[in-house]
Structure 1
Amino acid sequence: MENAAPPAPPVFFYGTLMHPGILKRIIGSKGNHLRICGAILPGYSRRQVQGASYPAIIPWPAALKLFGDSEGIPHEEQCVRGILVYGVTHDDEELLDYFESRMFHRERITVHALGPPQSLNDWENSPESHVALPNSNVTMEEGLKMPSCEAETYVWRDNTNWLSSHYWSYDVFLKEKLRIWI
């Protein structure tokens, strides 16, 4: 009897791919096999990529070096809120790697899942999905106390001069940029 391949780790998304319609378009499927929950990635900073509608993440110490000291910066900006996606297949990974291009590198990270996973399609069909992320009622402090798990995410590896000192906002993306993506 052959050993089954171990399941792929969940993938943490923190930008445009948090939107179910965009994620499904990139992987070219209806996403029936995917489950999601909100998640928090500590120790990273999400920044606007200059001239783009998407963000990048870099480790928090690198953000401090690039953009100044941490005095007065809320703890929330030293962590990244996003979604954890379970059930990503090898074919999905190849399409995601192509989409993320050479500007990003897929890396193993540790995140805090903010609740049990639910069907991507159930989430997409909920009224909340158009204005918030799953488990958005969980505060950053509460989330950082929740159990952690291993996952993968896409970390910026291109020239840091392309990163803005401004934080990227999913709320602003939904209101001002989503229409150009779907």
Structure 2
Amino acid sequence: MAIIAPAKVNAKPVSFDSPPRPIFCYGTLMSAAVYCKVVGTASAPLSKPATLVGYRRRQVRGATYPAITPATADDKVEGLVVHVETHDQVRLLDLFESDDYERQTVRVHLAGEAVDVDVYVWASGDNLLSKEDWDFEDFLQNRLQEWLRDKEVFGDRPEDDQQEHPHGHHFVTAARELDRLRNTNSA
């Protein structure tokens, strides 16, 4: 089995005594159902629409999720600023995104105000990205239910770690970490 590493972190540090910095979600995590499954909560977190200027959202080749990359000042990405509740949830998000991404601190426009947030920026090379933009509405209509039904992604963990996972091993790694955190917190 390939070792799946969490996202690289190049974000401004946040004290563990302080709440985590909000995350700018621009892909599958904009779905409350996906976000809740990843971080292990029953209810959707507080989120607000925001715009990230100077980046472009693109489809990852052969995948059903996007990536963002730096672009021109005319480019922008619409998404949601999500208020992450705990530092453990940030760790789960880092695992979910994997080392294909780097968590960085950026400034977004939120209700006419500039706000610092963390965002996962693509770190694995442009050759893995299509020239096409990723479409959230298409994901919601044609892929979301597939993701939520997939037992290898969000349900029972497969016994055979060599098995191919349709959305990547990082989902299973994040899910196992969520199980570990739940067991630690309930002990």
- TM-score calculated relative to the size of structure 1: 0.69
Tell me what 1:43 maps to: 54
Q: For structure 2, which runs of at least 5 residues remain unmatched after alignment?
A: 1-14, 149-187
Kept after mapping to 1: 8 A contact 2:58/2:131: yes
Is 2:95 aligned against 1:98? Answer: yes
* Post-superposition offset of 1:87: 3.5
1:175 counterpart SS class: helix
- Identical positions, percent: 37
Measure, in 1, the Cα distance between the counterparts of 2:26 and 2:43.
18
1:84 counterpart letter in structure 2: V
Instruction: Give the CA RMSD over aligned residues.
Output: 1.9
Q: Which residue of 2 aligns with 1:80?
A: 77
TM normalised by structure 2 equals 0.67
1:159 is aligned to: 125
1:28 Cα offset (Å) = 1.2
Task: Name which of 4, 8, 11 aligns with 2:23.
Answer: 11
Tell me, what secondary structure is at the counterpart of 1:167? coil
Aligned residues: 134
* Cα displacement (A) at 1:7: 2.3
Equivalent position to 2:71, from 57, 60, 76: 60
Are the structure 2 counterparts of residues 43 and 112 from structure 1 closer, same or farther at C-alpha, using a change threshold of 3 Å?
same
**CA distance 1:4–1:22, shift in 2 (3 Å):** closer
Given the alignment, which residue of 103, 107, 111 partners 2:104?
A: 107
**Counterpart pick for 2:41 among 7, 29, 34:** 29
Q: Distance in 2 between matches of 1:83 and 1:166?
A: 21
Partner of residue 114, structure 2? 148
1:20 corresponds, among 12, 17, 32, to: 32
Listed as ranges, the gaps of 5+ residues in structure 1 are 62-69, 115-145
For 1:122, the equivalent position in structure 2 comes to: none
The runs of at least 4 consecutive aligned structure 1 residues that moved more than 2 Å come to none
Q: Secondary structure at the match of 1:8?
A: coil
Question: Which residue of structure 2 lines up, in the alignment, with residue 175 of structure 1?
Answer: 141
